[in-house]
Amino acid sequence: MSTITEAQIIAALSTVNDPDLKKDLVTLGMISDIRIENGNNLSFTVTLTTPACPMKEQIKQSCIAAIQAQVPDVSAIEVKMSSKVTSSCGHHGHNHGGHHHGEQHTCSHERPLKDVKNIIAVASGKGGVGKSTFAVNLAVTLAKTGAKVGLIDADLYGPSIPTMFGLLDAKPEVVEKNLIPLEKYGVKLMSIGFMVDADTAVVWRGPMASSAIKQFITEVEWKELDYLIFDLPPGTGDIQITLVQTIPLTGAVIVTTPQDVALADVSKAVSMFRKVDVPILGLVENMSYYELPDGTKDYIFGHHGGEIFARTHGLAFLGAIPIDREVREGGDNGTPYVLDHPGSATSEAVNLAAMEVARRVSITNAECSATK
């Protein structure tokens, strides 16, 4: 015999708020499968907006505490944590008042990437800051949580995904004129490096680069994805413009190094996304510090530059990733660092930054669906 009711459980869980979305779990529709079995054994499912939710454990504990406080007769509680990634409302870049060819514009009936829930651009002011390294480790980290993830190497002039995934000789299959993305470490991949020699891409002119990017969007079988990540070239050139005009981006992640934040290039990249109304999910500071064997952090290039830049520019700070020789080695030998060194301090830093990205995506999606 059970003496508690589903209504009591719902009432208790209505007092638990999602800390980011600022509404209670019942109103948000996150509670399901409430079961009360013999002897007041309770189980239910909480469905979060991303499998990479940094608040997962906190939310679970809050549920348990609320039930223990408000329904004291419950004898055992089992909380099943699940997730369903929310879709971007689709922010779309303006056209800068300039001309562009409308055939692949999202106003057409067949919106490109319609089964892709969120599109994230990883950008930077200048090259060599670790943008590709972060994009790769972000992709595999999200995939490890169970999300469906794709990664496009949009740096046509310096593709690095083939090297970083150990796929230098791989070629994507073509089926009925569509490219099938390669897949490794749970991530679907496309790079110009799979199609042409690395040195051919360098001489590409703007219009060719734009059409290559459009091809990656419209002629690749991405199928269903929770997150599609674009590893952009540095700066604010043709490829960036093409991207924001061709598809609705959920948001952009800016990667900097501490010594790079002082440069005007970072501000220019921030301004570019703002000008075209692409939300900036936040800023990641890479090569922030060097961790000494005793665990202390040596801030070789100064302390908290990225965090201060983020604050003064009204951006979320997504995290700081140390300089780590093994990060570079992982990039060179084709094994993303986080897969080879799970649990290390550096992996933990990458993991936190990746979860912050997922969290900002969820918040952005909730905010924009609330204003519709």
Binding site for ligand ADP (CB under 6 A): 124, 127-133, 160, 286-287, 321, 323-324, 327-328, 331
Q: CB of 232: closest distance to Mg ion in angstroms?
A: 8
Q: CB of 164: closest distance to ligand ADP in angstroms?
A: 8
Strands 178-179 and 174-175: what pairing?
antiparallel
Judged by beta carbon, residue 130 or residue 172, the one nearer ligand ADP is 130
Among ligand ADP, Mg ion, none, partner that 287 touches (CB below 5 to 8 angstroms by kind): ligand ADP
Chain residues binding Mg ion by CB under 5 A are 131-132, 155, 160
Among ligand ADP, Mg ion, none, partner that 104 touches (CB below 5 to 8 angstroms by kind): none
Q: Which residue of the chain is nearest Mg ion when measured via CB?
A: 132
Among Mg ion, ligand ADP, none, partner that 319 touches (CB below 5 to 8 angstroms by kind): none
Among ligand ADP, Mg ion, none, partner that 113 touches (CB below 5 to 8 angstroms by kind): none
Judged by beta carbon, residue 130 or residue 181, the one nearer ligand ADP is 130
Q: CB of 330: closest distance to ligand ADP in angstroms?
A: 8
Judged by beta carbon, residue 277 or residue 329, the one nearer ligand ADP is 329
Please report, for residues 111, 252, 264, 290, the alpha-carbon distance to residue 287 in angstroms, rounded to integers and kept in the order given: 38, 20, 19, 8
Judged by beta carbon, residue 130 or residue 251, the one nearer ligand ADP is 130
Judged by beta carbon, residue 56 or residue 297, the one nearer ligand ADP is 297
How many residues appear in the chain?
A: 372
Among Mg ion, ligand ADP, none, partner that 324 touches (CB below 5 to 8 angstroms by kind): ligand ADP
Judged by beta carbon, residue 130 or residue 258, the one nearer ligand ADP is 130
Q: CB of 322: closest distance to ligand ADP in angstroms?
A: 6
Q: CB of 100: closest distance to Mg ion in angstroms?
A: 26
Angle of helix 6-13 versus helix 56-70 axis, rounded to 10 = 130
Judged by beta carbon, residue 286 or residue 362, the one nearer Mg ion is 286
Q: CB of 209: closest distance to ligand ADP in angstroms?
A: 16
Biggest distance spanned by C-alpha atoms of the chain: 76
| Phi, psi of 277, rounded to the nearest 5 degrees | 60, 30
Judged by beta carbon, residue 142 or residue 287, the one nearer ligand ADP is 287
Q: CB of 254: closest distance to ligand ADP in angstroms?
A: 11
Q: CB of 240: closest distance to ligand ADP in angstroms?
A: 14
Q: CB of 298: closest distance to Mg ion in angstroms?
A: 26
Asked if residue 234 lies in contact with residue 125, where contact means CB atoms within 8 angstroms, the answer is yes
Say which residues have a Cβ less than 8 Å from residue 299's Cβ, sequence separation at least 6. Answer: 258, 288, 289
Judged by beta carbon, residue 253 or residue 321, the one nearer ligand ADP is 321
